[in-house]
Structure 1
Amino acid sequence: MKLLRHSQPDPNQLTLQLDFFTPTPLETTQDSPPPPLLQQDHAPAPELKQQAPLPPMSPPIGRPADGMRRIQLGEHHLDYALLRSKRRSIGFLISDEGLRVTAPKWVTLGEIENAIREKQRWIFTKLNERRERSARRLQPQMQWRDGATLPYLGQDITLRIRANQSSGIAYDEGTLELTVGLPADAGEQQLKDRVQGWLQARAKETFAARLPIYAEKLGVTYQSFALSSATTQWGSCTADGRIRLNWRLMHFSLPLIDYVIAHELSHLREMNHSPRFWATVQSIFPEFETAKRALRDSAPETLPIF
Structure 2
Amino acid sequence: MAGKGLDVHKLVQLALDFFDPPAAAPQPAQTGVFAPDEPPAPAGSAQAAPEKIASVPPAPAPPAVPLPSLLAPAEFRHPRANREVLLGEAVVAYALQRARRRSIGFTVGPDGLSVRAPSWVTLSGVDAALREKSGWILRKLSEARERQQRVEGGRIAWADGAVLPYLGAPLRVVLDPSHGFSGKGGALVPAAGPAGAGDGCSTGPTGLGLHIGLPRSAGPAQIRDAVQAWLMRDARRHFTARLEHFAPLLGVRWTSLRLSNANTRWGSAKADGSIRLNWRLLHYPPAIIDYVVAHELAHLRVMDHSPRFWDTVATVVPDYAALRDHLRDEPAPLW
**Aligned mate of 1:172, from 174, 178, 202:** 202
User: How many angstroms apart in 2 are the aligned matches of 1:114 and 1:162?
Assistant: 58
The answer to whether the 8 Å contact 2:302/2:308 transfers is yes
Conserved 8 A contact 1:81-1:100: no
* TM alignment of 1:109-124, pairs within 5 A: 112=129, 115-116=132-133, 120=135, 122-124=136-138
One of 136, 142, 156 as aligned partner of 2:170: 156
Q: Helix, strand or coil for the counterpart of 1:195?
A: helix
Secondary structure class of the residue paired with 1:271:
coil
Q: Distance in 2 between matches of 1:102 and 1:292?
A: 30
Show structure 2 runs of 5+ residues with no match.
1-68, 182-188, 192-200
Q: CA RMSD in A?
A: 4.3
Higher strand share: 1
Q: How does 1:44-123 map to 2 (within 5 A)?
A: 61=72, 68-72=84-88, 77-80=89-92, 89=103, 91-95=105-109, 96-98=111-113, 112=129, 115-116=132-133, 120=135, 122-123=136-137
Q: CA deviation at 1:152?
A: 0.6
Structure ranking higher on relative contact order (CA contacts 8 Å, 6+ apart)? 1
CA distance in 2, matches of 1:142, 1:63: 29
In structure 2, distance between residues paired with 1:111 and 1:145 = 51
Aligned runs of 1:149-298 on 2, under 5 Å? Answer: 149-167=163-181, 168-170=189-191, 171-174=201-204, 175-182=206-213, 184=215, 187-188=218-219, 191-223=223-255, 225-231=256-262, 233-296=265-328
CA distance in 1, matches of 2:331, 2:257: 24
SS in 2 for 1:94: strand
Inter-CA distance 212–80: structure 2 relative to 1 (3 Å threshold): same
Shift of residue 296, structure 1, vs aligned partner: 4.6
CA distance in 2, matches of 1:134, 1:208: 31
Separation in structure 2 between the aligned mates of residue 89 and residue 229 of structure 1, nearest angstrom: 34
Matched letter for residue 116 of structure 1: K
Distance 1:183 1:81, change over 3 A: closer
- The code of the aligned residue for 1:162 comes to D
Q: In 2, distance between residues paired with 1:71 and 1:100? A: 15
- Structure 1 counterpart of 2:197: none
The secondary structure found in structure 2 opposite 1:210 is: helix
TM-score by structure 1 length?
0.59
Structure-1 residue corresponding to 2:161: 147
Give the Cα–Cα distance (whole angstroms) in 1 for the partners of residues 313 and 203 of structure 2. 31
CA distance in 1, matches of 2:270, 2:85: 47
One-letter identity of the residue aligned with 1:196 = Q
- Give the whole-Å Cα distance in 2 for the aligned partners of 1:123 and 1:292: 22
Among 131, 135, 143, the residue aligned to 2:145? 131
Q: Are the aligned partners of 2:175 and 2:214 in contact in 1 as well (CA < 8 Å)?
A: no
Q: Distance in 2 between matches of 1:185 and 1:68?
A: 50
Deviation at 1:176, TM superposition (A): 1.7
Q: Deviations over 1:73-126 (max 9, x none)?
A: xxxx34457989896556444353458696966x98998588437xx2x43431
In structure 1, C-alpha distance between the alignment counterparts of 2:236 and 2:93, rounded to whole Å: 48
Provide structure 1 residue ranges, at least 5 long, that are not aligned to the other structure: 1-57
State the alpha-carbon separation in 1 of the partners of residues 215 and 250 from structure 2: 51
Could you tell me whether the CA contact under 8 Å between 2:165 and 2:283 is conserved in 1? yes
C-alpha distance in 2, partners of 1:296/1:203? 20
Give aligned-pair identity as a percent.
Answer: 36
Report the Cα distance in structure 2 between the residues aligned to 1:187 and 1:282, rounded to whole angstroms: 46
Question: Cα–Cα, structure 1 residues 185 and 162, in superposed 2: closer, same or farther, change >3 Å?
Answer: closer
Kindly report structure 1 stretches of 4+ aligned residues shifted beyond 6 Å.
63-66, 81-87, 107-111
